[in-house]
Chains A and B, each alone.
Chain A
Amino acid sequence: MTQKKPVYFMGINLRKLRKSIFSKTTYRGIVAVIATVILWELCARFEVPIIGMIPAPSSVFSSLVEQLQDPAYWECWVVSYDRVLSGFIIAQIIGIPLGLIMGLSRHLRDLSFPTLEILRPIPPLAWVPTAVIFWPTPEMSMIFVTFLGAFFTMVLNILGGVKNIDVRYIRSAQSLGSSGFDIFRRIVLPATLPSLFTGMTVGMGITWAVVVAAEMIASRSGLGFLTWKSYVAGDYPVIVIGMISIGIAGYLSSAVIRLLGDRLTPWRKII
């Protein structure tokens, strides 16, 4: 119990942050990234077959400088984020209650589970043609497909979370005088939170994969479209910029969820 007290800033443990920034892991990671870039540059310079066809980092970088000054590039970020967040948030609004209800009521689970299990394996992208047909605008169809990407993961994770609640906790709460909605609020919800955040993290990853592919197929905007457009236009460095942008966007989204998850389930943090 004589460990140093954590110092918090905006809910972030600064000591832990400093430790993880100045760690060997970070150092090795940086070295690996730099090595990869150098190797990549060399492959391009010496025109190594196949892999050497990828534009060199130097040309990507000079193109990046242009892109960063171009509002159209940032517009792509905004549009893709807009789609991802809309789809993702709608998936939470519908998926969380549905998962909870299915977890709590056997009848509803029996009723909805088979349908869900048949629809679930259909890749969201297989929905694109149908979605374009039945949604009034392409934007809506895009959001719908994104929504599907996160929805099933959310429902299944929460359903699993509720079903796996140890009966001891419920009984213990009953024994301490809790019942009905109180048990839901004080036991079921917090006990399900870790699974909820697992679902969110996985769902967010799928959402980005889906939105990019959907943009390539059915849209004229967004980071996916930027990548595709550059391919069509033969502007190869921008393809790479598009790809890396998608990577960074996905990483940032997951990081936010992880941070949120850590803050809302502090009991899981083992320091």
Chain B
Amino acid sequence: MTTSTSTICPTGTSEMHLSPQPVGKLSIRNATKIYDPDGVNVLALDNCSMEVEAGEFCVIVGPSGCGKTTLLNAIAGFHDITSGDIFLDDELLCSGTKQAEPGADRIVVFQHGALFPWYTVLENVTFGPLVQGKMSASAAKKEAEEILAQMGLKGISHSYPSEISSGMRRRVEIARAMMNNPKVLLMDEPYRAMDALTKTIMHKNLLDVYDQSRKTIFFITHDLEEAIFLGTRVYVMTTRPGTIKKVIDVDLPRPRDYKILSSDRYLELKQEVIESVHEEAKKAFEAGEREMA
């Protein structure tokens, strides 16, 4: 899986292709985050540790407000952590004293989508390489058209995001991320609020991207079925303060398709995750939290 340039990944965006090993190993060690709104300390993450292997499809589940997004934002560089360390490919990304810089090696796909409404699909997809000065406009355009075509998004390059469906928008956003050949794709409940049917198409699309690129994906969700269907490992987080409660290895073969959803192993795993999350959800509920919103 070293030649991640195969199809979905653009060529020439990064020197990473030369590297013989897959990249994107995330080591989170004792990450702790205390929020301090109005002088009331809120412990959002408490000594949270996890090791995400390079090329792993890592899915984080847990009750609302357990610190999943806090963790993602720390990796993305949107805020700091109070103590602990996070390493990306054994390089210190952030610690209690150092906030990570946001960068194109860790692209975020947001919960409600963040395509720029004032740019066309093509302008959105080429945004990364162009602002970084990594590609010429024509090369970026060519690359973008290729990626869009591979994702089944032909013929919409000159449409504005408001003119295409939400499913298309989400795929465009993944295309925009892949244009940068990131080490890690950070996805914060990207398919929330989508109908079940669109979701299955999104899943298929994301699995294709993953199978072809083997990028490390850090995926947050509330949807436990989605978690097992997509993930290589599912990390169950405790209710706040968040820490990793359980890691479930999803040993379902890849490439996966919807047929797996009725397999015994899938159902077993689902049961395991449900039980684990339910305990935490109950605790969260009893603690006066909104349950699984």
Contacts and interface: CB of A to CB of B under 8 A. Distances in A.
B114 A168 contact: yes
Contact of B110 (A1, A168, A190): A168
A177 B180 contact: yes
Given A169-B116, A175-B108, A186 B131 contact: yes
Contact of A176 (B77, B118, B180): B180
A168 B104 contact: no
B102 interface: yes
B128 A267 contact: no
Interface string A157-178: 0000000001011011111111
B131 A267 contact: no
Nearest to B179: A176
A182 B155 CA distance: 29
B270 interface: no
A261 to B, nearest CB: 13
A233 interface: no
B116 A190 contact: yes
Nearest to B120: A267
B112 interface: yes
B198 interface: no
A169 B160 contact: no
Interface string B167-181: 000000000100010
A266 interface: yes
A133 interface: no
B103 interface: yes
B117 interface: yes
B129 to A, nearest CB: 8
Interface residues of A, number: 23
Contacts of A270: 162-163
Given A1-B155, A267-B160, A191 B131 contact: no
A171 B117 contact: no
B114 A171 contact: yes
Q: How would you classify the secondary structure of chain B's contact residues: helix, strand, loop or mixed?
A: loop
B127 interface: yes
Interface in A173-226: 173-178, 182, 186-187, 190-191, 193
A182 B112 CA distance: 23
A270 B164 CA distance: 11
Contact of A178 (B78, B107, B131): B131
A175 B102 contact: yes
A175 B131 CA distance: 11
A184 to B, nearest CB: 12
A172 B103 contact: no
A172 B118 contact: no
A265 interface: yes
A256 to B, nearest CB: 22
Interface in A237-271: 265-268, 270
Nearest to B109: A172
Interface string B246-269: 000000000000000000000000
B106 A176 contact: no
A177 B128 CA distance: 6
A171 B102 contact: yes
A104 B203 CA distance: 39
A14 to B, nearest CB: 19
A176 B160 contact: no
Interface string B108-148: 10101010111100000001100110000000000000000
Nearest to A168: B114
B217 interface: no
A221 B108 CA distance: 60
B87 to A, nearest CB: 19
A176 B162 contact: no
Contact of B102 (A174, A186, A187, A266): A174
A166 B113 CA distance: 11
B121 to A, nearest CB: 11
B76 interface: yes
Contact of A175 (B104, B118, B119): B104
Nearest to B128: A176
Given A173-B127, A190-B118, A191-B118, 16 more contacts: A171-B110, A172-B108, A172-B114, A173-B116, A173-B131, A174-B77, A175-B76, A175-B77, A176-B180, A177-B103, A177-B104, A177-B128, A177-B132, A178-B127, A186-B127, A265-B118
16 contacts: A1-B155, A169-B116, A171-B78, A171-B108, A173-B131, A175-B76, A175-B102, A175-B107, A176-B176, A176-B180, A177-B103, A190-B119, A193-B118, A267-B160, A267-B161, A270-B163
Interface of B: 76-78, 102-104, 106-108, 110, 112, 114, 116-119, 127-128, 131-132, 155, 160-163, 176, 180
The 5 closest A-B pairs by CB, nearest first: A190-B118, A174-B102, A172-B114, A177-B132, A267-B160
